[in-house]
Amino acid sequence: MRRARVAYGGAIHEAYPAGAGLRLADGRTVAERDVIWLCPFEPGTIVALGLNYADHAKELSFAAQEEPLVFLKGPGAVIGHRGQTRRPADATYMHYECELAVVIGTTARNVSRNDAMGVIAGYTVANDYAIRDYLENYYRPNLRVKNRDTCTVLGPWLVDAHDVPDPANLTLRTYVNGTKTQEGNTRDLVFDVAYLIEYLTGFMTLAAGDVILSGTPEGVCDVKPGDEVVTEIEGVGRLVNTIVGDDVFDRR
């Protein structure tokens, strides 16, 4: 099953695919563009991985990590499908990051690798933007780079874990204004999903609604206001997002 959360008619609804539109939980069918897409679940702690594809690490002139490079972000950074992401006027290089997002379904503490997949509720697509100008240290991504309002796009669907039988072999692609600029596969993760769950729950408790952003492959490029960025993952979904400037947000 795949499901979304949308705002429509002054209320928040759970929604499901229905042909070219959406079926709300109350039975009504609406067009995709007539709703405001929200994150398909209420996110808790967001755990993100840096340099978790060897080709992307090489692209940024870094060796592959011997231990996961992990940082946290808050739910305030999150927007949904068809949302707008702000590019500040002083940014000179801002790029997308197409990532498989792993959504935890139950309290998880000291979970072994063999049991790790059993604590997953499902998967969604993430587009986790970074502004390289603000990065002080690649090994310690700072808040201005990785916890910005509107810079973490999640959706459109939460796909149940049992409907994604092989998360270790999923193709990821990004398109900017219709041109493919990134392609990779989760089989090339340095630290796979099961390892990450074992590693993380060895020192912290994960709860239902927490999210692991598993990293992005090579192929990032600068995006500008007006660009439409589509990130898609095989069997999980196609996430659409638009870059806008400070004029839209009226803040500098």
The CATH number of the domain holding residue 232 is: 3.90.850.10
Q: In this structure, are 4 and 51 located in the same domain?
A: no
Q: In this structure, are 17 and 58 located in the same domain?
A: no
Mean pLDDT of 37-45: 97
Domain holding 165, by residue range, is: 41-249
How does residue 104 score in pLDDT terms, banded at 50, 70 and 90?
very high
Q: What is residue 231's predicted lDDT score, i.e. its pLDDT?
A: 98
The domain tally of the chain equals 2
How does residue 43 score in pLDDT terms, banded at 50, 70 and 90?
very high
Lowest model confidence (mean pLDDT) among 57-61, 87-91, 122-126, 191-195: 57-61
How does residue 228 score in pLDDT terms, banded at 50, 70 and 90?
very high
Burial pattern 149-169, b for ≥16 Cβ within 10 A else e, equals ebbbbbbbbbbbbeebeebee
Q: What is the pLDDT of residues 157-199, one digit of tens each?
A: 999 999 999 999 999 999 999 999 999 999 999 999 999 999 9
Q: In this structure, are 31 and 107 located in the same domain?
A: no
Q: In this structure, are 188 and 221 located in the same domain?
A: yes
How does residue 51 score in pLDDT terms, banded at 50, 70 and 90?
confident
Q: In this structure, are 22 and 58 located in the same domain?
A: no
Q: In this structure, are 30 and 151 located in the same domain?
A: no
Tell me the whole-structure pTM to 2 decimals: 0.93
Q: What is residue 2's predicted lDDT score, i.e. its pLDDT?
A: 97
Quick one: tokens of 107? 């309290």
CB 156 within 8 A of CB 4: yes
Q: In this structure, are 26 and 129 located in the same domain?
A: no
How does residue 252 score in pLDDT terms, banded at 50, 70 and 90?
very low
Q: In this structure, are 53 and 164 located in the same domain?
A: yes
CB 77 within 8 A of CB 83: no
Q: In this structure, are 1 and 103 located in the same domain?
A: no
| Close Cβ partners of 176 (under 8 Å, ≥ 6 residues apart) | 96, 221, 223, 227, 228, 229, 230
* 94 Rama sector, left if φ>0, alpha if ψ -120 to 50, beta otherwise: beta
Q: In this structure, are 112 and 233 located in the same domain?
A: yes
**At 18, which CATH number?**
2.30.30.370
Q: In this structure, are 111 and 204 located in the same domain?
A: yes
Q: In this structure, are 172 and 239 located in the same domain?
A: yes
Lowest model confidence (mean pLDDT) among 143-147, 151-155, 207-211: 143-147
Q: 119 pLDDT exceeds 70?
A: yes
